[in-house]
Structure 1
Amino acid sequence: MISNPDRQADTRTPRPARPRDPSPVVRGLTGRDRWILRMVHEHRVLTTDQLAALAFSTAKIARRRLAILHTYRLLDRFRPLRIRGSAPYHWTLAPAGASILAAEAGTSVRELGYNHQAALSVAHSLHLTHTLGVAEWFTALVTHPHGGQVSRWWSQTRCQRLWGDLARPDAHGRYTHGEDLLDFFLEYDLGTTALSRVAAKLHGFAELARTTGVITPVLLWVPTTAREANARAALRRTWDRLPDPEAVPVATAAAEFLASVTAASPADQVWLPLDTDSGRRRLHELTTVWPTCTPPSSEVDPEPTWAPLSGIVALAPPPPQPPTSEYQ
């Protein structure tokens, strides 16, 4: 999907499964199962293919385990309609799964911010393809890190809770390759948004950098090289007018470059910094292009200092992959 995203078709209402007593399976939940529940809560929706790539040795094992979690109402699922072929199951958090997460956090399902109908509404969301595209981007980076490692993958919702009054990135990530460590904001573009709106988001990132004193690169991922060329022109016009352009490092990449690449990954040599003509770089090489970027002070995430948003308890973000002992 990162090189050739699907067109979004109409979706149909998920058929609810017959309620089952979740007690037997709850007692047998593995660390990987709990990780899956946290991941679909964090990112709203993930497909069978994405979860299989991230957490299972084979797609068959993934389908079998996800079906068990669905049978006991820990997960809900739906399939968007496609003009050709059939879509994989798309997974969301079900009420019993939300109850487990709330119990682990020592809070209530309501304080967790979970609502069953809201969780299912993603099936009809106009942003479903975009949400899945961001998930596919990170899935490719996690499963094909090209010598690196992804230690952070925060959802758009989490970013909004942290920085939404200033900037609203599509995701936030951390990529480590040897001694190189890159924190970044991801802007995932499907080619349907006016480039003036895409470029205008730089003002928010500039204000975020000014307010926090932290310089974090912005990575823009677009579908084609033609879109990238036009996006770079729009970005440059806005970037040049920022009060402190150096506080908002920007790089762009086109998914088209990876269309014929085996094990395609955003870590590949596809990134072109906005402020230099030094050529395309691998993801970890961007750290050498922007020496003024603020290095992370620690690996500790800032959740303990969060103020609850409208009474919602923010769970700690799940790691990009489940515990290694849970692989089967």
Structure 2
Amino acid sequence: MPQSRTAGLLAIYPHITSRDRLLLQLLDDHHVFTTDQIHRMLFHARRTCQIRLGELAALGLLDRFRFARDGGGSQPWHWTLGHNGHRFQAAAHNRPEPTARASRQTVQRLSANPHLTHLLTVNEFFVRLTAHARQHPEARLDRWWSESLTTKQYRTVTADGHGLWSVADTTVGFFLEADTGTEPLSRVVAKPDRYTQVIRRGGPRYPVLFWLHSEQREEHLHRLLRGRPGDVPAATATHHNDPADAVWLPAGATGRVRLAELPSDHGQPVADNPNYDDGVFVL
């Protein structure tokens, strides 16, 4: 008698480590990472990372894609959930089991998504914080919410992501606006206005972090921010730096500060993601 689909998935369980489960959850939440991003978050040796990703792909837990580089060669592998990975996460969170066709369509849509570069940029921000915390025991990323979860929890906020960053006894919340240079700055500078409703409802007064792709764009944005009054604090930095370090220039300020030094008022609590324990997801 042929095995059922459930029995087939159970047969994979002895091969899944706690680190694998964390990776599956991260991909379920944030969709796609490059090999380098996974290496920096979860592994010490790059070769070990590459071998393990290949093993997980052979088990059907992961899938991957990559594109040709302009001028020759290939881009790095982009990793996402494979069919068994989707099945595993569906079982873990009491969701309907996806069909093989649905899993294939998810990968195809993700790979062809015109916003893929932006998604990878958003994820890179949090990957760098995670990597920083691995090297600094006093630091930790207590919360990493995607755009969809942030919007669900805060309703009027459409940030690219939300996080809580702690160093020793200091915890700073933030909303992330990751910039790839495709939007006009007139639209970018208006984004802090979205967060005023959260503050007026008694919610947190977290800084809005503009993570910009060039120093020139950062300089131009600061000129625009100086002329905009408002209750929402904002700070800028570029993609070239570790976001945990003293790289953030608050609007109206002249000196840069660390992420943990930005002002942060947590306000009233919001309901946390039920997939996490007490809203905390420590890597």
Name the TM-score class by shorter chain: 0.7 to 0.9
Matched, 1:295 2:266: yes
**Alpha-carbon deviation of 1:318?**
8.1
Task: Give the unaligned 5+ runs of structure 1.
Answer: 1-20, 259-264, 305-314, 322-328
Give me the whole-angstrom Cα distance separating, in 2, the residues matched to 1:217 and 1:115: 37
Q: Which runs of 4+ in 1 moved over 4 A?
A: none
Give me the whole-angstrom Cα distance separating, in 1, the residues matched to 2:84 and 2:252: 49
> For residue 148 of structure 1, what is the aligned residue in structure 2?
139
**Alpha-carbon deviation of 1:161?**
2.3
**Alpha-carbon deviation of 1:80?**
2.0
Give me the whole-angstrom Cα distance separating, in 2, the residues matched to 1:295 and 1:209: 10
Give me the whole-angstrom Cα distance separating, in 2, the residues matched to 1:176 and 1:103: 32
Q: 1:124-181: per-residue Cα shift (whole Å, max 9, x none)?
A: 1111111111112221221124552212111122223223x41211111111112221
Give me the whole-angstrom Cα distance separating, in 2, the residues matched to 1:121 and 1:284: 37
**Alpha-carbon deviation of 1:67?**
1.0
**Alpha-carbon deviation of 1:320?**
5.1
> For residue 261 of structure 2, what is the aligned residue in structure 1?
285
Please give the TM-score of this superposition, normalised by the length of structure 1.
0.74
> For residue 281 of structure 2, what is the aligned residue in structure 1?
319
* Amino acid of the structure 1 residue aligned with 2:24: L
**Alpha-carbon deviation of 1:192?**
1.6
Give me the whole-angstrom Cα distance separating, in 1, the residues matched to 2:259 and 2:251: 14
Does structure 1 conserve the Cα–Cα contact (< 8 Å) formed by 2:204 and 2:267?
no
**Alpha-carbon deviation of 1:193?**
0.8
Q: Where do residues 173-192 of structure 1 align in structure 2 (5 Å cutoff)?
A: 173-192=163-182
Matched, 1:66 2:53: yes
**Alpha-carbon deviation of 1:28?**
2.3
Task: Give the unaligned 5+ runs of structure 2.
Answer: 1-7
Aligned match of 2:252 in 265, 275, 291? 275
Root-mean-square deviation (CA), in Å? 2.3
> For residue 40 of structure 1, what is the aligned residue in structure 2?
27
Give me the whole-angstrom Cα distance separating, in 2, the residues matched to 1:26 and 1:213: 41
Give me the whole-angstrom Cα distance separating, in 1, the residues matched to 2:251 and 2:73: 39
Q: 1:272-319: per-residue Cα shift (whole Å, max 9, x none)?
A: 111333x11111121xxx3xx323778x96124xxxxxxxxxx43783
Provide closer, same or farther for how the CA distance between residues 148 and 168 of structure 1 changes in structure 2, counting only shifts above 3 A. same
Aligned match of 1:90 in 78, 83, 89? 78
Please give the TM-score of this superposition, normalised by the length of structure 2.
0.85
> For residue 201 of structure 2, what is the aligned residue in structure 1?
211
**Alpha-carbon deviation of 1:29?**
0.9
> For residue 14 of structure 1, what is the aligned residue in structure 2?
none
The number of equivalent residue pairs is 267
Give me the whole-angstrom Cα distance separating, in 1, the residues matched to 2:252 and 2:23: 39
**Alpha-carbon deviation of 1:186?**
0.8
Does structure 2 conserve the Cα–Cα contact (< 8 Å) formed by 1:251 and 1:272?
yes
Give me the whole-angstrom Cα distance separating, in 2, the residues matched to 1:180 and 1:159: 22
Give me the whole-angstrom Cα distance separating, in 2, the residues matched to 1:297 and 1:32: 33
> For residue 130 of structure 1, what is the aligned residue in structure 2?
118
Give me the whole-angstrom Cα distance separating, in 1, the residues matched to 2:84 and 2:282: 23
Provide closer, same or farther for how the CA distance between residues 180 and 130 of structure 1 changes in structure 2, counting only shifts above 3 A. same
Give me the whole-angstrom Cα distance separating, in 2, the residues matched to 1:320 and 1:108: 27
Give me the whole-angstrom Cα distance separating, in 2, the residues matched to 1:149 and 1:301: 21
* Amino acid of the structure 2 residue aligned with 1:172: H
> For residue 139 of structure 1, what is the aligned residue in structure 2?
127
**Alpha-carbon deviation of 1:96?**
1.3
**Alpha-carbon deviation of 1:236?**
3.2
Give me the whole-angstrom Cα distance separating, in 1, the residues matched to 2:236 and 2:91: 42
* Amino acid of the structure 2 residue aligned with 1:99: R
Does structure 1 conserve the Cα–Cα contact (< 8 Å) formed by 2:202 and 2:268?
no
Work out the percentage of aligned pairs sharing the same amino acid.
Answer: 35
